[in-house]
Structure 1
């Protein structure tokens, strides 16, 4: 179910002052820890999620923890680069194409650069549900809306000075998924198959994006954060089986599941570790590059099929001008 709790590298000692970061699903779990840590390193961080109330609660908690850690070095897991966190909420509901496009326009209207895009938000056990856009909900939230978001933010990433990063937070669950061209959204399949397929698609997207963005100064990475004791397996609005909740609790009590901070470390390394500057198309586990275990992930024909299928799904929202950003340097 996950990698062992091997020791991980500490947070890199880098200064992100003047950098701008977007983290989707940053109000809880590894998204929260990612956003907080990058803000402590000096970045301006956009907390992109659907609930303003939960986002504001998370931001207040970040600032409280930051104040405590700043006054006591022993409490801090990062070499803090700022007195006050620059963290801002922006609404983003990935189950809605309209909300995703509104987020893009609102962010562009701010005139900010964008140096790091962390596609972190996700759902599991969301039920046999279609979104208002007509897509299977795991497919849209975990993969398709992030794909749309990324394509529309490419001009900003390109214009922001080199060494920009796109981070696609995947999962080891990609390993057990079979390829089904006749059922790409895994309708009427087991919930873990739905979830795993979206995580496989994120890895495949990494390769197709990296190839098309070669020479652009943008690095594309995907990763498995480890088995993490987060809210994704506990939310009341998700149909998580009793057995899965029991397993998550058991792993946590046996200390076989990472806490959210340690789960975020691999994301943080992909985003800011200087050793990955100029690199792309790397899949990471335990904060280091790792070989992939599912042959579908590296199959170029399958990657191209997914790419074309995704564009077809989003044909009303992706123009020729959008696609030109994938070829112009």
Structure 2
């Protein structure tokens, strides 16, 4: 997996950051560390009860770490964490739009959007919007979220960032332009890989369209991390995978170690003037030829916009064209 550089000292005072799926695992550690560095962090997830419990746990751990420097893993810049829950169900395009409107109504800036939430080996049933679950939750709803929050990101820059938590599994994706949701392939591992590859491809497409806008776009592989991703309710993980996760648990990264790559992409000032970078082990790395293929990127971009046409206004498209 390689060693990871620790996060350099950063002060995120006056920064506002949204982290999707921040109530557990990598998202939890990402949100907590960013809040400890001074940011106002929005925990965007489905369950208010789980989010509230997570926020309380963050604050408890923060108090313990503040009292004992030996426990600190990032430079703590605040006495109390500024963390807030907002409801977001990425399995519903309407919920995604409701989140957008609720966020805009608060009048908050948005300096970093961390698209962290995701599913792995999810259900076979389509979402209420009629899409394959991995395609919608991991990729399409995040695409919609980004599109509608672009004006806020632009006005909060320069240096605003969009960070998508992808996976090294993107390398196992296939390409079928007539079945981008992978509906004809019942292998949910392949569906997961495709959704993660789409996140990387989308990074390139978006970065190209946002050149000169002050919004930088990154994606990343957090490492093989021991989280609940493969064991959450409603996810049917093959027995062989469960065995691997159990037997190989000592080799897996902790959620914080996994979050380090997200933290570098979200806050490391070394990348203030960079965009379209894919991180692994907290450092920029190259990606494979399929993810870099511009023709495929454009096919995916156009297909995604077609899927979202009922939720995209002319103003949104003008925002993309105005950069």
Return the match for 1:95 from 75, 91, 98. Answer: 91
Task: Indicate the SS of the match to 1:118.
Answer: strand
Q: Look up the SS of the partner of 1:11 in the other structure.
A: coil
Is 1:235 equivalent to 2:232 in the alignment?
Answer: yes
Matching residue of 2:307: 313
What does residue range 38-49 of structure 1 map to in structure 2 within 5 Å?
A: 38-49=34-45
Partner of 1:328: 322
Q: Deviations over 1:223-280 (max 9, x none)?
A: 000000000122232111222111111121xx21100000000010011111100100
User: Which residue of 220, 223, 233 corresponds with 2:220?
Assistant: 223
Structure-2 separation of matches of 1:122 and 1:236: 13
> Which of these residues, 277, 287, 293, is aligned with residue 299 of structure 1?
293
Partner of 1:171: 167
- Is 1:68 paired with 2:96? no
Q: 2: CA distance between counterparts of 1:313 and 1:97?
A: 10
1:206 and 2:203 matched: yes
Q: 4+ residue stretches of structure 1 with deviation over 6 A?
A: none
**Counterpart in 1 of 2:178?**
182
Equivalent residue runs for 1:1-329 within 5 Å? 4=1, 6-189=2-185, 190-252=187-249, 255-293=250-288, 295-329=289-323
**C-alpha displacement of 1:13:** 0.4
Q: How far is the alpha carbon of 1:138 from its aligned partner?
A: 0.8
Instruction: Provide TM-score, normalisation by structure 2.
Output: 0.98
Distance in 2, matches of 1:67 and 1:249, equals 32
Give the CA deviation at 1:188. Answer: 3.9
Q: What secondary structure does 1:21 align onto?
A: strand
Q: Which secondary structure does the structure 2 equivalent of 1:46 belong to?
A: strand
Give the Å deviation of 1:208.
0.5
Q: How far apart are 1:127 and its partner, in Å?
A: 2.2
Q: Secondary structure at the match of 1:107?
A: helix
Shift of 1:324: 1.3
Distance 2:123 2:103 in 1: 31
Indicate the SS of the match to 2:311: coil
Q: Is the 8 A contact 2:157 2:215 kept in 1?
A: no
1:144 Cα shift? 0.2
After superposition, the CA RMSD in angstroms is 0.8
